[in-house]
Amino acid sequence: MKTYANPADKTNFLQSLMHMIKGNLGTGILAMPASFSHCGLVGASIGLPILCLIAAYCVHLLVRSSQHLENKMKWSHLEYAELAKGSFKTGPPWIRPYSGLMCKLVDSILVICQMGICCVYLVFIVDNVTSILATYNITVTKNYLFLAILPVALLLAYIRTLKRLAIASACANMLQAAGLAIVVEYLLRDMPSQPKVEYFKPASEIALGFGSAMFAFEGISVVLPIYTRMKRQEQMGGLMGLINLSYTFLLFLYMLIGVLGYLRFGSLVEGSITLNLPKQPLYDIVRAIFTVSLFLSYPLQFYVPNEIIWGYVSSKFMIEPVPELSPQKPRSQETQAALALTKRAKRHARYEYYCRTILVLLTFVLAVSVPKLNLMMDFFGSISGTALSITLPPLIHLVAFWEDTSGRSRVLMVIMDSVLILFGLVASANGSYFSLMEIIKSFSNDPHSHHHAATMPTNMFANATTTLSPLTTH
């Protein structure tokens, strides 16, 4: 459990609202038209608000569970994995031995999800740079572009504090807002009088569209850190609380871009709406804006998996605090202790940079070498993102409140939480199955699959959604 003793670190309601929106608003909004293409205009218009409602309700469950354990056990500032561990540790006796395993499971899911987002960001960046260069008849091999951006990604990943990363986040927010404004203006211009859209789609496509839409709301990992840093934590819930307002605003933006993009391009919509923009200087600027915005967001997405992995690795290189020496001890001993601490601190920092370097290189290797990265991300994303957003919150809530409820209240809680858990498991299995089928189909039937995969970077991973190759050509 972490502590935040400094009141200056606390955020007000507006600041917390901005953090919540930014935590959810990533490349997923650029892929909303593709999600509508998967589900159909009416199907997506009905399904997206339902998914938003489910996602928001699961966030409420997570916050209530945190509040309950903080009051019951006098714990404070629980992160997602710590909350899962704490709920199992205080749950029914037979489930308590699995608390440590649950903590590691949640950490593993978070790492998979966030590393996947980093990979998708890299592919998105390279593909949009390639598109910009193509406008001016400049051809550069994508592998060379990956090598070109590697030093910049490493420098950004070496930023170790969230306070410094906040500058990059603020710049990314402003760039993204400007880019979205230009995209909306373009979508509204020359809208076809008779759009070529379908109202509903087959179940297999809807399953993929569900994953795309669900991961646009996959900012649940930032909820608890935001909650713990709020000056007035009671503003988190409630009818006009932080959760409801942020998710209502997100739903409005996703519906706006999704509907306009699908009406404008129909079945020709790409996995990222930026790839549908004309190859003109103005829209090259838009592509550049989103490219820079995602590049600045890369270290923020990288921060979570690095913190988790380094937390496990650093146990071997732990810096032991040097106890204060009494005034009676010679000054030379204090100097020696300070020098020893400095050496250990430098060694600790050096090993952390090694860890960050290895993780950055891993994201680049995956982005470059996996031929069907976008489909692989769909497969792993349908497991990790749905687990974080839908399956785990009701499970944690059920276990956390089990010992403190009885009678009808317990029955009602079991029914509601079990329905959500079952829904999450079925949705995850469905998305995984159809994603796996598309992976197999694309490898066996498409001789140019490698090239196509590289041009379709944004997937349903946590704000990074994709359109699968066999479904974008109908």
Residue 240: CA atoms inside 13 Å, Cβ hemisphere, count? 2
Q: Where along the chain do its domains lie?
A: 7-320+329-471
Phi, psi of 464 (to 5 degrees): -145, 85
Crossing angle of helices 242-265 and 41-73, rounded to 10°: 160
Mean pLDDT of all residues in 248-262: 93
Instruction: Give pLDDT tens digits for 54-99.
Output: 999 999 999 999 999 988 888 877 889 999 999 999 999 999 999 9
CATH class of residue range 7-320+329-471: mainly alpha
DSSP string of 309-320, one letter each residue: HHHHHGGGG--P
What residues pair up with 11 in beta bridges, in sequence order? 230
pLDDT at residue number 373: 54
User: 352-363 b/e with 16+ CB inside 10 Å = b?
Assistant: beebbeebbeeb
Distance CA 69, CA 54 (A): 23
Distance CA 422, CA 382 (A): 15
Task: Pick left, alpha or beta for residue 200 (phi over 0 → left; psi -120 to 50 → alpha; otherwise beta).
Answer: beta
Mean of all residue pLDDT scores within the chain: 81
pLDDT at residue number 341: 56
Sequence letter at residue 336: Q
Which residues lie below 8 Å from residue 248, measured CB to CB, with a gap of 6+?
none
Distance CA 207, CA 98 (A): 32
| Residue positions counted in the chain | 474
Sequence letter at residue 5: A
**Residue 5 or residue 68, greater confidence:** 68
User: Considering the chain, what percentage of its residues have pLDDT values greater than 90?
Assistant: 33
Sequence letter at residue 106: V
Cα-based distances in Å from 153 to 294, 353, 373, 427, 441: 11, 13, 19, 34, 33
Q: Sign of the CA dihedral 157, 467, 391, 22? A: positive
Instruction: Give pLDDT tens digits for 178-189.
Output: 999 999 999 998
Cα-based distances in Å from 218 to 226, 236, 253, 390, 413: 15, 18, 15, 9, 24
Instruction: Give pLDDT tens digits for 291-342.
Output: 998 888 888 888 888 988 988 888 766 644 444 444 555 555 556 555 555 6
Distance CA 284, CA 278 (A): 8
Phi, psi of 126 (to 5 degrees): -65, -40
